[in-house]
């Protein structure tokens, strides 16, 4: 038995994995986000630990015998968050999260001071990343910065509570802008940009390696065996990839949730920072991955559904399916940049818009336009990955948007790749974390990192692709217009 713990932004989820990769059960505990000022996003690290204890207690109550037989624990978590600790491991301030945008000026300064930053770190300096957050703290909260002894990522603070060890894995550390991603080690040059050194950083391990063992008192409180191994784990996207069996070059997934993520495994380090992609270490040794990220995906469909007064986003998606090909070509074009955009534009100030509205525009056409616009944004992201050397022929589709067969088919045609969905199969960070736990105690990768059963396969439709191609060209031209 193996436990996976995923420290999300809105929930901590714990999953119990049994023999033959069978999910025994899962439990969750909700989290809240504090926004003390515009653009700020913070959480109290103590809340992650409390939610972890609650989720594990629920899992223990539901499956006591299987839970007690746990051999290893894996961790997954929201990336980029900054947990600042003093020399006694006391938290100095609330953690600054991945979706906090306060440090845009610091990002510009870092890029100017070290032009090699993106080649070393695999990405442009962006406000979501950890390093510019520390530069902001040094400038605006110098008394706190002077007391910083360690900087941990969210899941690694939970690891500290479990094991007493300061450790991170390479996939999560890739999102700090302190890691030399090619060398899979901390970069003294990048650390110097924020006035920090290796002494401030946790020890690094591969995600599939052991990072420590449960402390005796923690094991007793949790009802687990003393010495239970805690694996390195992974950042949320890399953990999700492990959960979907995407560990070999060319394998990947498309997450159509609040944001949109294209994730492709690469055999080596392949950065393309100019197009705002991310090149990070994967959670297993000797592999890297590329990501393109768009900031508004399925959330854009929810937004237009709320505007239209629909019961839910599924209702608007269903209306869109009724449109004929002629109606689709007469629909408005939608730029999905409701909160700026990352890949490929890295433009925090661009905003969404509809183009081509007329008196024939109705709810069905608006819904179609939004689904198409998000698909085009993902196509632009895939083009950025291709430009960096990635190739992919099949993508697993996960997230809320995966519930729409119409959207899945549109994505297959727009991206010209096979799209597969996995129905009700358990996927996500907690499953990947549990699998990394299994690997850390010697389970073979070939029997652990299996893809979940395929529910439906969507192949590119040449007729739909021909309909979408000229609209995509117009879509791309609209961003470039003043």
Tokens of 46: 């103590």
Tell me the Ramachandran region of residue 202: left when phi exceeds 0, alpha when psi lies from -120 to 50, beta otherwise: beta
Does 371 show up as a binding residue in the annotation? Answer: no
Tokens of 10: 């809105």
Tell me the Ramachandran region of residue 41: left when phi exceeds 0, alpha when psi lies from -120 to 50, beta otherwise: beta
- Active-site annotation holds for 380: no
Does 80 show up as a binding residue in the annotation? Answer: yes
Tell me the Ramachandran region of residue 419: left when phi exceeds 0, alpha when psi lies from -120 to 50, beta otherwise: beta
Tokens of 106: 């610091």
What is the rounded distance in angstroms from the CA atom of residue 8 to the CA atom of residue 53? 14
161 by Cβ neighbours in 10 Å (0-12 / 13-18 / 19+) ranks as middle
Q: How far is CA 109 from CA 126, 165, 194, 344, in A?
A: 11, 33, 11, 21
In DSSP notation, 401-463 reads: GGG-HHHHHHHHHHHTSEEEE-TT---SHHHHHHHHHHHHTT--HHHHSPPPPP-EEE---HH
SS3 at position 339: coil
- Give the sign of the dihedral formed by CA 103, CA 104, CA 105, CA 111: positive
Backbone angles phi, psi at 174, to 5 degrees: -60, -25
What is the rounded distance in angstroms from the CA atom of residue 240 to the CA atom of residue 323? 34
Catalytic residue among 217, 236, 358, 360: 236
Residue numbering of the annotated binding site: 79-80
Question: Binding site for substrate: which residues?
Answer: 79-80
Question: Catalytic site residues?
Answer: 236
């Amino acid at each position: 038995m193996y436990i996976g713990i995923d420290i999300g932004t809105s929930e901590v989820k714990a999953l119990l994995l049994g023999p033959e990769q069978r999910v025994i059960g899962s439990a969750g505990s909700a989290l809240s986000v504090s926004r003390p000022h515009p653009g700020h996003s913070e959480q109290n690290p103590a809340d992650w630990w409390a939610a972890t204890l609650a989720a594990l207690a629920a899992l223990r109550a539901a499956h006591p015998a299987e839970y007690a037989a746990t051999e290893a624990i894996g961790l997954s978590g929201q990336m980029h968050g900054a947990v600042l600790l003093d020399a006694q491991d006391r938290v100095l301030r609330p953690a600054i999260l991945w979706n906090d945008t306060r440090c845009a000026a610091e990002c510009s300064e870092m890029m100017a001071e070290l032009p090699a930053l993106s080649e070393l770190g695999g990405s442009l300096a962006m406000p979501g990343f950890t390093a510019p957050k520390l530069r902001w703290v040094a400038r605006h909260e110098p008394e706190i910065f002077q007391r910083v002894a360690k900087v941990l990522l969210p899941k690694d603070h939970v690891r500290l509570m479990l094991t007493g060890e300061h450790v991170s894995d390479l996939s999560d550390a890739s999102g700090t802008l302190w890691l030399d991603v090619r060398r899979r080690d901390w970069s003294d040059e990048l650390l110097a940009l924020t006035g920090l050194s290796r002494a401030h950083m946790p020890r690094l391990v591969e995600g599939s390696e052991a990072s420590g063992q449960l402390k005796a008192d923690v094991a007793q409180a949790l009802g687990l065996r003393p010495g239970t191994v805690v694996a390195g784990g992974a950042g949320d996207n890399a953990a999700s990839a492990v959960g979907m069996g995407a560990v070999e070059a060319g394998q990947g997934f498309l997450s159509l949730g609040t944001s949109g993520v294209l994730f492709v495994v690469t055999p080596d380090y392949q950065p393309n920072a100019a197009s705002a992609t991310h090149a990070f270490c994967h959670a297993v040794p000797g592999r890297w991955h590329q990501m393109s990220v768009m900031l508004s995906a399925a959330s854009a469909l929810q937004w237009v559904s709320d505007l239209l007064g629909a019961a839910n986003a599924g209702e608007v998606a269903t209306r869109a399916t009724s449109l004929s090909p002629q109606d689709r070509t007469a629909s408005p074009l939608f730029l999905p940049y409701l909160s700026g955009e990352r890949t490929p534009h890295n433009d925090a100030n661009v905003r969404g818009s509809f183009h081509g509205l007329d008196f024939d525009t109705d709810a069905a056409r608006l819904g179609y336009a939004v689904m198409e616009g998000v698909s085009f944004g993902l196509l632009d992201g895939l083009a950025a990955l291709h430009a960096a050397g990635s190739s992919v022929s099949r993508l697993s589709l996960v997230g809320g948007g995966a519930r729409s067969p119409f959207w899945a088919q549109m994505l297959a045609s727009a991206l010209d790749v096979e799209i597969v969905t996995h129905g009700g199969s358990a996927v996500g960070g907690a499953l990947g974390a549990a699998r990394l736990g299994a690997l850390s105690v010697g389970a073979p990768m070939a029997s652990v990192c299996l893809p979940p059963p395929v529910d439906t396969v969507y192949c590119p439709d040449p007729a739909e692709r021909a309909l979408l191609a000229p609209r995509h060209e117009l879509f791309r031209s609209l961003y470039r217009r003043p």
